[in-house]
Amino acid sequence: MSDTKPGDAKPADRGQAGEAQTLIAYAIDNTALNIRPAPHERPWMDATHERYAYRCLPLNIANAHGWEVLCPSGFAVGWTGAPGLEAVVIQADPGTTAPAVSHFGHGIVTFHINALMRTSPGYDIWCGGPINRPKDGVYPLTGVIETDWAPFTFTMNWIFTRPGILTRFEKDEPFCHLFPVERGMLERIQPRRIPLEANPGLKTQYEAWSASRNGFNAELKQAGSKAQADGWQKNYYRGQGVEGQAEGPADHRTRVRLKPFREF
């Protein structure tokens, strides 16, 4: 949530396609901001049988799609269920100051981002909770901020889903995930609903994939089958269609590799 209401701003000029974009975190009073490229690993994914969760490429790409801001210190927080500021109780770890406060009431926990973020003209920042990192009892709220012009900081907020529990944010635990998004891109999209039959080529490809998927799942139940040996179908992961159909684009990716913030 922005600390100040934005005023009227003229549309900014967009950069050219493929042009390197800017993301700067201006330190406030030289306060450290622990921010890193989001890793694709997740503890709950590590714990799945044979780490099968990592076979889901869309999940992997989303995990690393941006940067994470980390807690400078650990603390515990709870909510009594009342609407007042005092109903959110925050307990800092010994010898530290909690990086969150009760600012809005109503079971909301507020983190201040200790930097003024700046993006290229025409780009906002999507700011939300750590992606695919579930946390019991609290839910991250999401904001989109015009960071190409606003000289304002913003906050990252979590809301309790139920009272009477005590939850922890550990030191170096991510509490915020952010990435730039082009302003107005969604408004320029013209969505349409079309029957699949209107695209015979795509319909043929879909039916081939569906038959292949059903056959593979049936074969998985057969001891010693090739499907059991393979474990999973890798067409999408490899950017390949069924039996060579509909090959993926040249820029198909299996990993997001973002640059860390450099110090100046």
Model pLDDT, residue 194: 97
Fold classified for 23-185? Deoxyuridine 5'-Triphosphate Nucleotidohydrolase; Chain A (2.70.40)
Distance (Å, whole) CA 194 – CA 223: 41
Contact 77, 102 (CB under 8 A): no
Contact 249, 34 (CB under 8 A): no
Query: Per DSSP, what are the bridge partners of residue 157?
Result: 110
Nearest to 132 by CA among 50, 257, 46: 46
Model pLDDT, residue 19: 64
Model pLDDT, residue 6: 39
Nearest to 87 by CA among 13, 160, 2, 182: 160
- The ranges assigned to domains in the chain are 23-185, 196-244
Model pLDDT, residue 246: 67
**pLDDT one digit per residue (tens) for the chain, 264 residues:** 544 443 333 444 444 545 678 899 999 987 778 999 999 999 999 999 999 999 999 999 999 999 999 999 999 999 999 999 999 999 999 999 999 999 999 999 999 999 999 999 999 999 999 999 999 999 999 999 999 999 999 999 999 999 999 999 999 999 999 999 999 999 999 999 999 999 999 999 999 999 998 998 898 888 888 888 888 888 889 888 887 666 788 899 999 999 999 877
Distance from chain centroid for Cα 129 = 7
